[in-house]
Amino acid sequence: MRLRRLSALLAVLSGAPALAYVPSLSSAQLQEAAAQAQRLAQSADSGYPVRPYTLYAVEDNLRLVAANGDVDAVTIATPFERTRYQVFVHKIGDDPITPAQAREQAQLPDHQVAFIVFAHGSSPDDQDFLKGISALTFTLGGRTLRPASRDLSDTSLSQYPRTVGEIGLRYIGTVTTRYVIPAGLEAASGTLSFTDATGKTFRMPVNLSRYR
């Protein structure tokens, strides 16, 4: 049995402020993303700093609380952040890559953002919880955007050791939904909403000017 936590959740409480959303990275911005990742990898024990890109997170991601539903966190991904993440992952894995290679592996095209929902099953044997997460509704600048893609990850067992009354084993996974950002809305605000498999509704503000 493999017990692990998703890397983003491990680092929800770390990180430095982000800057405005960049829809397409210049060569200089690619180099900057790589340089940030190199510095972060020097203190990898602190995890990857996802806090600036976190839209929602439970108070204690090592404890299951029924009222929270199935969702542990929701993050926003940008071309800059995903490029930085790829450099970071390869660096700590002792398999360095170039900034251009990292951009290719980022799985987020230019002019898009992705929302990543981190979730868990409602019971120790529940492996279908990701299918119960509704389609996301994303409004931006007064417009409701259609998703460009939606991907469900594989699931794996994880432990929530501070859960009261049980060992806290659950299957975990992610739902990633990508959107094309229309020209002129790169600094716009809006809302993201969806419902999880328990019927709990999540609604959170999104301001693209906060996320580089």
pLDDT, residue 46, reads 72
CB 172 within 8 A of CB 189: no
Mean pLDDT, range 59-69, rounded to an integer: 96
Mean pLDDT, range 3-19, rounded to an integer: 43
Taking alpha carbons only, the member of 165, 76, 82 closest to residue 115 is: 76
pLDDT band, very low/low/confident/very high, at 43 (cuts 50, 70, 90):
confident
Instruction: Kindly report, residue by residue over 49-58, the tens digit of the pLDDT.
Output: 888 999 999 9
pLDDT band, very low/low/confident/very high, at 19 (cuts 50, 70, 90):
low
Burial category of 161 from C-beta neighbours within 10 Å (exposed 0-12, middle 13-18, buried 19 and up):
exposed
Residue at 141: amino acid letter = G
pLDDT, residue 103, reads 97
- The whole-chain average pLDDT of the chain stands at 91
Residue found under tokens 């402020």: 17
Instruction: Kindly report, residue by residue over 77-101, the tens digit of the pLDDT.
Output: 999 999 999 999 999 988 999 999 9
Instruction: Kindly report, residue by residue over 171-195, the tens digit of the pLDDT.
Output: 999 999 999 999 999 999 999 999 9
